[in-house]
Structure 1
Amino acid sequence: MDQNQILILVLAATAALVTYKLTNFNNPQDVKNAIPIYNTGYKKTPRRGDNSVNTGDVWMRAATSPNSSIEVSDNLQRILEKKYSRFRYCHICEEIIQLINIHIKSNSTFQYFRAPAVVLCNRVSPLAGFDHSICNGIIDTYGPPLLYVADQLVLDPHTTCKKMSFCVPKLITNQQSSKFHSFTQDEPQIEIVDPMSPKMTSTKPSERDKPTETLRVLQISDIHVDKFYKPGSPSNCDIFLCCHEDVNGTEPAGYYGEYNCDLPWWTVDVLVDSIKQIEPPPDFIIYTGDSPPHDVWKQNWKGQLATDRDVIDFLNDRFDGINIYPTLGNHESFPANLYYSPLRDYQKLNKRSLHLWKKLFPLPKDQKTNIKEAAYYTALVKPGLRILSFNTNYGYTFNFYALLNWKNPTLDAQRRFMKKTLTKAKINGEKVIIIGHIPPGDVPNTFDEYGQFYTQLVTNYSDIIVLQLFGHTHRDQYEMILPDPTESITSGVAFIAPSVTTFMGQNPAYRIYHLDPVTFVPVDYDQYYLNITKANADHNPVVEKLYSAKEEYQLKDLSPQSFLELSKRFKSNETLVQRYLRNMYAGSDAMGDCDIGCKHITICETLSSSLTAWLTCVSSLNI
C-alpha cells in the first residue's frame, strides 16, 4: 500500500480523536497539503452477497427522487463550518473511504500496514494539534474496528460521508418528502425475537398515598473521572487531554480541575458533598452516563470496566438508600464511541452493566434479559411513575458499527420494547420519564433515523411522557420535539443537562428537577455549578445555584409550549439569548463570541430533535 494511502487510513482510524481537535487547523487546506490526494482509480465494487451493503445503490435511488433539496449559500456554508468543524473535512472523508475500499480489496491485514501507519501518524499528528505519542494507542484502538466495519460493507465515499455527517447536508425545499432514505434497504439476516416485555399491572396511587410536596429528581451526567489527574501538571498541552504527569505543556493545573481536562476524584466528591447538604434530599437520581475519561489512546477493556465499576460503586455508596437509574453512555465501552451488541466484547459490557446497575435500584427480574441484550430497561419508580431507559449508541454517527445496524436485531427489538412499554403504561394510567445518553437532535452527531423514530415515539405518547432527560453534549441545552418542523406544535421538550467534567470548557454541574406530586410534570428545575477558576484561586470550592429555570427564562411553567415560546423569544431578545449561551457552559466563558449566524444556528438547535427538523430550521434562515 502506498504511504499516502496509509496516511489517509490513519486519519480514518483516529476519527474519534481527530474530530474533537480539527478546529486547531487554521485552514482545512492544511490537511490536504499534508495529505497529497490524487486519482486513486476507485470504482464501486460489486455486491458481496448477503454480507455486505452497497450504499451507493440505495442512495442513488434517493438522489434521483423528484423532490427535495438545494445547496447552501456560501455564507451559510461558512457559518455551518465554523460552528460544526467536522463539515470542513467532507473531501478528506471521501478520500479516506476510497482508500479504505482499496485496502479491503487488497486483502491486507492490519499488521501489514501498522508500522508505517504509526510513522505517518507521527508525521501528521502535529497538524491536528496533538503529540505523536498517542499514535500507537490510537491506531491499535480504532484501526481494527474500522477495518472490520469496512469489510462488511461496500461503501460509497460520497454517500457514506454524508451519512456520517462529515459534509454539509443539502437544505430541504419540499417538506412533504423531506424524510431521508434509510442507509440500507436490506432486511436483517438473523431472526428477531420479541424483547422481554415488562410485566406491568395497574399501579395508580390511591388518594391517600398522594404526597403534598414536590418530588425532587437529581440528574448527574458525564462524570468522566480522571484517576491520573495531577495538580501542577500542564493544563495547556500538545495532546488531546491535559493535566497528566506525562504530558508536555504550560500553565500548571489547579487542584480542583481545568477546562482542558477531566475531573479528579476529589472534585467529583466536592459536588456530591454539596448535593448531600441540600434539604430535602432527592427522591431519586438519574445518571445519564459516561464515567471514563477522554484519554482514549490509553484505554482498554479492563480499564473501562474498572472505571465503570468505580463510579457506580461511588454513587451507590454516597447516595445510600436513594435509588439511582442509569443509562449507557458512549464512553462506557472500548473503544470509546463504538458499540455493537452482536460482538462478544459488547455482550460482556452488557452483562457487566447488569451486574453494576442492579446495585442502584430494585431491578425487575423480567428486565435482566433486556440489559444483557442491549442495555435498555424499564422500572417503576413509585406508583404511577415509570422510568424508561434506552441505549442511544445506535444513533451516534461516531459509532462506526452503527453502519452495520441493518443486521443487528437488537436495535429493532429495543424500538419495539419502547413502544410496548409506553403502550402498557398508558393503559395502566402511568406517567413515564424517558432517559438516554445522546439526545436525538445532537446535530451533526446523530443519524436522522434516530431522531425521526424518537420524534414519532414521543408524539404518539406525549400525554404520558412527563420528562425526557439526556446528557452527552456536556452543555446545558434543550431540544423541542416537533412532529412537523414547519408548524408551531410541539409534542415535548428534551432536557440536556451539563456535565460534571470540565472537559470542553464548562464548569462542573448538576441539576435538580421539581415534579408535581400528583401529575409528575416538572414545575421547575435548579441548576448548580462549581466555578472551577474561583475554586482553584481560593482553594475553597463552593457549589452554588446558577439559576432556576422559570425565573431565569421568564417561563410561565416548564411545559413544552413554554420552551417553544422561549425559542421564539430568543430571536428578538438579545439579553435572553446571551443568558442561554452563558448557561450552556455552566457559567464559564468558554462560549466566546457568538455572532448573528451562530445565534440563529443555536436557536435552530433548540428547535430540532432530528437532522430533518434541523435542516428545516436552517433552510428558513436568510443568511
Structure 2
Amino acid sequence: MDQQHILILVLAATAMLVTYKVTNSINPQDADNVIPTGYKKTQSRGDNSVNTGDVCGSAATSPNVSDNLQKILEKKYSRFLYCHICEEFIKLINIHITSNSTFQYFRAPAVVLCSRVSQLAGFGHSICNGIIDTYGPTILYVADQLILDPQTTCRELSFCVPKLISNQQSSKFHRFTQDKPQIQLDYPMSPEMTSKGDKPTKTLSVLQISDIHVDKFYKPGSPSNCDIYLCCHEDVNGTKPAGYYGEYSCDLPWWTVDVLVDSIKQIEPPPDFIIYTGDSPPHDIWKESWKGQLATDRDVIDFLNDRFDGINIYPTLGNHESFPANLYYSPLPDYQQLNRLSLHLWKKLFPLPKDQKTNIKEAAYYTALVKPGLRILSFNTNYGYTFNFYALLNWKNPTRDAQRIFMEKTLAKAKTNGEKVIIIGHIPPGDVPNTFDDYGQFYTNLVTKYSDVIVLQLFGHTHSDQYEMILPDPTEPKASGVVFIAPSVTTFTGQNPAYRIYHLDPVTFVAVDYDQYYLNITKANANHNPVVEKLYSAKEEYQLKDLGPQSFLDLSIRFRSNETLFQRYLRNMYAGSGANSDCDTGCKDITICETLSSSVTSWLTCVSGLNL
C-alpha cells in the first residue's frame, strides 16, 4: 500500500489522507489554483537556519524521468502527483516564516489550501480545521529551523520523483534480474541456515501481529463509501451501509479484532512468543489528541496482554502511537511522555531487563533475551520516516545516533556470545517513497555486516504482505538478508484482516516456513459467520527451497517469467481481497523492484533501468 501524501500544512494534512485511498489525481497545473492569491511570490530567508540540502544530502536538479515512467510511478505512488503543489507550499511556508507572523495569522489561508487540495483529491473539506490545527504548528516549528529549498525538500520528503541512477549502473543491476527461470545462484548458504547436531522435531512457533488500528467508533450500518478517507462512522455522509465485521474503507471494530485473537487461540501448538510490530490507534487523524492516542495505546497493549496471558509479547513503536500521528521527536516533553507510557505498558508483556529501561524512556528501543541463544532487538523506525517531519531535525537529535550505536553494539555482543537475533521494527527500510535513504543505507550495511547473526527481520506498516531483499551491492546478485513485512489486522484500505505464524528451527532459530492466516471480510459480513482460514504456507506457495535470502532473491527473479507466481504474490499482498488485481507491465516491473530494494538508492538503481 502506498503510504501518505501531500506535505507541509495541507501536505501534512490532506496528504495524510490521500495516501490511503484511491482518489482522482490532481493535475499539476491545478497547483496554481490551489495557492491563495498573495502567496505565490517566493521570498528569501536571511537567517542562520540550516539548509535542507545540507541536511538531506539530496541533489536539487530535476530528475531525468521519461514521461511514460513518470506516469507509471505516479500511478503506483500517487504522492508523486503532488510534486508541484508541494513546491508551492514550501514557498508559502518560507513567506510565512520570513514575515514572522503567528500560526493564527497563517491558519486561515492554510485551511483554504487544505479545502482546495482536498476537494481536488476527491474529499470534502470538513476535516481541514482539525488537520491544520493538528499538523500546522509542528510543520512551522520544523520549518523555522531550516532553509526549505522547494525542490530539495519535496524530493527528500518523497513528493517528487527522485533523480534516477546512471544507465550504466542500473543496466548492471538488471543483468541478473532478467528472465532466468532456472537461475542457479552461485554462492554458499549463510552459516545460520545449517543446523548443527541433532535437532528437536518441534519447531518454535512465533506469531506476528501488525497494524491493529482498532476503531472504537466503528458503527455497523453507517456509510462505508464516504467523502473522507476513513468511513464507517456515524457522523460521516455517504452510501453503502457498513457490514458488522468491517469494511475495506474503514478500520476494524473491537469485536472483529477479538475474532482474530480467538482463532489464534485455537491453533496448535500455541505460539512460543509473539511479535507486535505496532500501530494501535485508528486513522481518524483530524480527531486525534494525545489523550485519545495514549488511551488506545494502553487499551490495545492491555488487550493483548490479557488475551495472551502467559505468552511473552515483544512490541515495537509504530508511527500512529503518537500525536499527531506520524510525528516523533524525543527531545520534546510530549514524546518523552509517550516513551514513559511505552515503558510502563511494555514491561507487562515480557521480562524487561533493567538495563533496557533507560533506552525505552529515551527513544523506545530495547533488546531482550527470548531464551538462551535467541535475542530480540526492537528499534524505533520513526527516525527514518519521511512523514515524520521532525526527522528533518535528526542532525540535532542525539537519540537517533544513540539508537544506531546501540543496534551495532547489540549485534556485535550477540555475535561474541554465540546468540542469534530477531530484529523487529515498524516501518521497513525499503518502504519507498516513505523512508529516507539514510535509514535504508544504514540498515542495509548493518544487516550485511551481521548477516550470520540475524535470523529474522520482521516489520509491518505497509498493511500489505511483502518482502524486501537486503542487497549489499544493488548491482550484484548476492543477498545478505530478507525483510518480512506482515499484512495488517485492519482492513484499511482494501486488505482482509490477517496475521502470520513463523516456524523456527529450535536449534539454529532460522525460519523454516510461515503460515499466513486471514479473515475474508466480505464473506463474514454476508454469512454473519466470521471464519479465519489459512491463506497459504510460504514454501509451498512460492516453491521455495527454504526461507533464506537467496531463495527470496531467486523468487524475485522468477516473478519476471512466471506470471502465475507473480499473481499469487499480488493476491497475497492484500490477503486475498483482490484490491490490487489490476497490475499491468509497468506496475509489475516496479513491484518487483520493491522486492529488490531496502533503500531509496537500491530502488532507484532498479527503477532507473526499467525499459518503460
Normalising by structure 2, report the TM-score.
0.91
**1: CA distance, partners of 2:162 / 2:602:** 12
Equivalent of residue 414 in structure 2, options 401, 418, 425: 425
From 51, 54, 62, the equivalent of 2:51 is 54
Pairwise CA distance, 1:11: 2.1
Quote the offset at 1:55 in angstroms. 2.5
Give, as a single letter, the amino acid of the residue that structure 2 aligns with 1:95: E
Cα drift, residue 22 of structure 1: 7.8
SS of the residue corresponding to residue 19 of structure 2 reads: helix
Show CA shifts across 1:326-380 (max 9, x none). Answer: 0000000000000001111000000000000000000000000000000000000
Tell me what 2:529 maps to: 540
CA distance in 1, matches of 2:116, 2:89: 17
Match of 2:486 among 479, 493, 497: 497
Q: Percent identity?
A: 82
SS at match of 2:494: coil
1:114: which partner in 2?
107
The yes-or-no answer on 1:74 pairing with 2:63 is no
Taking the aligned partners of 1:58 and 1:263, their CA distance within structure 2 comes to 39
Report the Cα distance in structure 2 between the residues aligned to 1:9 and 1:456, rounded to whole angstroms: 31
The one-letter code matched in structure 2 to 1:53 is V
- In structure 2, give the amino acid aligned to 1:54: N
What is aligned with 1:300? Answer: 289
Over residues 535-590 of structure 1, what are the superposed CA-to-partner deviations in whole Å (9 max), with x where a residue is unaligned? 00000000000000000000011111000000000000000001100100000010
Distance 1:495 1:56, change over 3 A: closer
Structure 1 residues 515 and 563, CA gap change in structure 2 (3 angstroms) = same
Counterpart-to-counterpart distance in 1, 2:255 and 2:7: 41
What's the CA shift string for 1:292-344, capped at 9, x where partnerless? 00000000000000000000000000000000000000000000000001111
Q: Which one of the candidate residues 498, 506, 515 is aligned to 2:495?
A: 506
State whether residues 458 and 483 of structure 2, in contact with CA within 8 Å, keep that contact through their aligned partners in structure 1: yes
User: 1:136: Cα distance to partner?
Assistant: 1.6
**Counterpart residue number, 2:430:** 441
Q: In structure 1, what is the Cα distance between the partners aligned to 2:506 and 2:299?
A: 33
What's the counterpart of residue 409 of structure 1?
A: 398
Aligned-partner Cα distance in 2 for 1:534–1:271: 15
Query: Residues 36 and 297 of structure 1: is their aligned pair in 2 closer, same or farther, counting only changes over 3 Å?
Result: closer
1:281 to 270, 273, 289: 270
CA distance in 2, matches of 1:362, 1:59: 39
Structure 2 match to 1:256: 245
Q: Tell me the secondary structure at the aligned position of residue 10 of structure 2.
A: helix
Q: Distance in 2 between matches of 1:448 and 1:497?
A: 22
> Aligned residue for 2:601?
612
Structure 2 residue identity aligned to 1:28: N
The aligned counterpart of 1:172 is 165
* Native 8 Å contact 2:7 2:15 kept in 1: no
Task: Give the stretch that moved more between structures: 442-451 or 111-120.
Answer: 111-120
What is the match of residue 45 of structure 1? 45
* Offset from partner CA, 1:440-466 (integer Å, 9 cap, x none): 000000000000000000000000100
Distance 1:317 1:29 in 2: 50
Per the TM alignment, residue 84 of structure 1 is displaced from its structure 2 partner at its CA by: 0.5
How much has 1:258 moved relative to structure 2? 0.1
**Equivalence map 1:199-238=2 (5 Å):** 211-238=200-227
1:10-409 superposed matches below 5 A: 10-20=9-19, 23-29=22-28, 31-32=30-31, 34-36=33-35, 40-48=40-48, 52-56=49-53, 71-118=64-111, 121-173=114-166, 211-409=200-398
2-side partners of 1:46 and 1:482: how far apart?
43
The answer for the alignment partner of 1:193 in structure 2 is none
- The Cα offsets for residues 365-414 of structure 1, whole Å up to 9 and x where unpaired, read as 00000000000000000000000000000000011100000000000000
Residue pair 2:204, 2:272 contacting (<8 A) in 1 also: yes
- The Cα of 1:592 is off from its aligned counterpart by 3.0
Q: Against the structure 1 CA distance between its residues 175 and 516, is the aligned structure 2 distance closer, same or farther, given a 3 Å change threshold?
A: farther
Task: Trace 1:473-622 onto structure 2 (pairs within 5 A).
Answer: 473-622=462-611
Q: Distance in 2 between matches of 1:362 and 1:326?
A: 12
Partners of 1:388 and 1:601 in 2: how far apart? 31
Matched position secondary structure for 1:441: coil
Q: Which residue of 2 aligns with 1:199?
A: none
Matched AA of 1:476: D
Deviation at 1:518, TM superposition (A): 0.3
Whether the aligned pair in 2 keeps the contact of 1:333 and 1:346 (CA below 8 Å) is yes
Matched pairs, number: 583
Is contact 2:43-2:95 (8 Å) kept?
Answer: no
Distance 1:124 1:610, change over 3 A: closer
1:156-205 deviation digits (Å, cap 9, x = unpaired): 11101111111111211178899xxxxxxxxxxxxxxxxxxxxxxxxxxx
Query: Which 10-residue stretch deviates more, 20-29 or 263-272?
Result: 20-29
Counterpart CA distance in 2 for 1:445 and 1:342 is 23
The corresponding residue for 1:452 is 441
Please list every run of 5 or more consecutive structure 1 residues that lacks an aligned counterpart in the other structure: 1-6, 179-205
Task: Give 3-state SS (helix, strand or coil) of 1:24's partner.
Answer: coil
* Of 512-521 and 10-19, the range deviating more from structure 2: 10-19
**Using a 3 Å threshold, how does the CA distance of structure 1 residues 53 and 392 change in structure 2: closer, same or farther?**
same
How big is the shift at 1:75? 1.1
- How many angstroms apart in 1 are the aligned matches of 2:267 and 2:122? 42
Q: Any idea what the Cα deviations from partners look like across 1:490-525, whole Å, max 9, x if unmatched?
A: 000000000000001000000000000100000000
CA distance 1:115–1:60, shift in 2 (3 Å) = closer
The residue identity in structure 2 corresponding to 1:85 is S
Instruction: Give the C-alpha shift of residue 152 in structure 1.
Output: 1.0
Structure 2 CA distance for aligned equivalents of residues 94 and 609 of structure 1? 27
SS of equivalent residue, structure 2 residue 458: strand
Deviations 1:223-265 (A, max 9, x none): 0000000000000001110000011000000000000000000
Distance 1:496 1:327, change over 3 A: same
Q: Distance in 2 between matches of 1:232 and 1:61?
A: 49
Secondary structure of 2:101 counterpart: coil
Q: Which amino acid aligns with 1:556?
A: K
Unpaired runs of 5+ in structure 2? 1-5, 172-195
Q: Which amino acid aligns with 1:582?
A: R
Q: What's the Cα RMSD here?
A: 2.3
- Structure 2 contact 167–608 (Cα < 8 Å) conserved: no
How far did residue 28 of structure 1 move?
Answer: 2.0
Deviations along 1:578-606, one digit per CA (max 9) or x if unpaired, are 11001000000100310000000000000
Q: Aligned letter for 1:279? A: E
Tell me the amino acid that sits aligned with residue 607 of structure 1: L
Secondary structure of the residue that 2:205 maps to in structure 1? strand
Deviations along 1:405-446, whole A, 9 cap, x unmatched? 000000000000000000000000000000000000000000
Q: Is the 8 A contact 1:16 1:398 kept in 2?
A: no
C-alpha distance in structure 2 between counterparts of 1:119 and 1:55, whole Å: 27
Contact 1:226/1:263, CA 8 A, preserved across alignment: yes
Q: How far apart in 1 are the matches of 2:29 and 2:244?
A: 37
What's 2:189 paired with?
none
What secondary structure is seen at the aligned counterpart in 2 of 1:379?
Answer: strand
Q: 1:295 to 1:427 in 2, by over 3 A?
A: same
**Secondary structure at the residue paired with 1:316?**
helix
Tell me the CA shift for residue 30 of structure 1.
Answer: 6.8
The alpha-carbon deviation at position 114 of structure 1 amounts to 2.3
My pick for the range that moved more, 289-298 or 127-136, is 127-136
Kindly state the Cα deviation for residue 100 of structure 1 after the two structures are TM-superposed: 0.1
Q: Residues 44 and 154 of structure 1 are in contact (CA less than 8 Å); yes or no, is this contact kept in structure 2?
A: no
Can you list the C-alpha shifts for 1:458-487, whole angstroms capped at 9, x where unaligned?
000000100000000000000000000000
2:192 corresponds in structure 1 to none
